[in-house]
Amino acid sequence: MRRSAASAGSARQALGQYLPPLRDRRFWITQGLILAVFVVHGVLRLEIAGYPSVFVVIAYTFPVLYAALEFGFRGSIATTGLVVVLSLPYVISDALAGSTTDLVGQVLDLAVLIVVAPVVGSVVESERIARRAHERAEQRYRALFETSAVPAIVVDGVGAIQEANPSAAHLLRGPLLQRTLADVLGTDTATALLGDAPPDRLQVTPQMEIRPAVSHHESDAGEPFTQIIFQDVTEEASGQRRARAWGLAVLVAQEEERRRIAQDLHDQALQLVVELRRHVDRVVRSAPKAGRDLLAARDLADQTLDELRTVTVRLRPPDLDDLGLVASLERLAADAERRGLPASLDVEGTPAPIPPDLALAFYRVGQEALTNAEQHAHASRVTLRVTFAPGQLRLEVADDGLGFDVAHVEEVVGDVHLGLVGMRERMQLVGGQLELRSEPGRGTTVVASAAR
């Protein structure tokens, strides 16, 4: 039953595409005009001897074309069919009377009418369907645009806001239509948004941050316009700032703990070992027979002192607070040289004071990069380069070690990869960036940069 009803409904729908618009009064007026032409033509044939029948087909052309233009394919087929039916008696009459001229003229005119009218009607119908589809799409877009919770505006080629949904008016706090984008967001921001490289984020007010999505288009008339969708990321940005502040606080606490441990080692453990060495020296002088064993003990004490000093420096480099970043990096390179890894430091630009948290981040990046080059990359040479550019600080650490595949570095768990992650996080916390360049067998270059 359901299938039969569905089939019947489909048949009615298909048939409805070809049925004339019987409920439209204008359609019946058009058919009435054709009947009127038929009547007038019949009267003229009776009153005027030799009246050419070809004129009636020409007269039929106007209502037929009107039906095609107004009602499309359905109206043109029905109207043309009526004309053919009404013209057949005259065509037969001319054929029986042997009026070749009138017969040929009527047949040709009818053939042209039969061909042209449906074609015109079909074209009109297609354009009408396309226009209705466009209007429906426009209505759907308009409804979506107006009711969307995502703020959106449309700006013309000169920067004037032509459309804005209520969400955009709420986000940007005020009516927007017919105002310029520069008036709403400022000249610099508007210029950046309408340019080829729009910004990723905008600080609209000290309390509001938004992320724009910009797309450029052309209207049907060829006029350029820009659609901008805004996403309020104030909470997200605030959360990121809180996370960054928390991370910095954790790093500060870690560095403070490192400083305390280093100070304790220097003030207690180092001093005890120094005192132990002095006692060994005194015993060596007072007991020459035990000199060999005591000398070995003294050498062991010296090694312990060196290790404790190294640990103390690695925990918290004293040069960083007293002499700055360059001196601390020079000491890192010198320590690497003493351990058998040739290392050098190049400085470009004029060294200038930098904030302590920034200096510490760059120092830790250099320290970790040197450690990786020595312990994991098995490098034979490392070069450190510090560049003091206007408004920017850059550190580059390049080695000639084994290298690795950067694309897969985060997929493998290991100490070296955790160290790289730590370097990147340190730079992000101070607003900087970390770049890794490496290929298997071609060494590694670590580049850290940040504004200063």
74 belongs to a structural domain: yes
**Average pLDDT, stretch 43-65?**
73
**pLDDT band at residue 362, thresholds of 50, 70 and 90?**
very high
> Quick one: 377 and 338 in the same domain?
yes
pLDDT at 63 over 70: yes
> Quick one: 451 and 326 in the same domain?
yes
Q: What mean pLDDT, rounded, does the chain reach? A: 79
pLDDT at 416: 46
pLDDT at 417 over 70: no
373 belongs to a structural domain: yes
pLDDT at 268 over 80: no
Please state the domain count of the chain.
4
Q: Which of 112-116, 249-253, 296-300, 334-338 has the highest mean pLDDT?
A: 334-338
CA 239/CA 249 separation, integer angstroms: 15
pLDDT at 346 over 90: yes
> Quick one: 124 and 219 in the same domain?
no
CA angle (420 as vertex; 246, 329 as ends), nearest 5: 90
pLDDT at 414: 46
> Quick one: 192 and 121 in the same domain?
no
- Phi, then psi, of 173 in degrees rounded to 5: 60, 70
Which of 113-122, 145-154, 247-256 is least confident?
A: 247-256
Please provide the DSSP assignment of 139-181 as one string: HHHHHHHHH-SS-EEEEETTSBEEEE-HHHHHHTTS--TT-BH
Q: Which of 188-192, 229-233, 252-256, 261-265 has the highest mean pLDDT?
A: 188-192
* Interstrand relation of 152-156 and 392-399 (parallel, antiparallel or unpaired): unpaired
> Quick one: 16 and 127 in the same domain?
yes
Which of 13-17, 160-164, 224-228, 257-261 is least confident?
A: 13-17
Tokens representing 372 are: 């990786």
2 belongs to a structural domain: no
1 belongs to a structural domain: no
> Quick one: 311 and 337 in the same domain?
no
> Quick one: 275 and 394 in the same domain?
no
The CATH code of the domain that includes 373 is 3.30.565.10
Range of the domain at 184: 149-232
> Quick one: 304 and 208 in the same domain?
no
pLDDT at 393: 94
Residue 147, amino acid? T
> Quick one: 290 and 367 in the same domain?
no
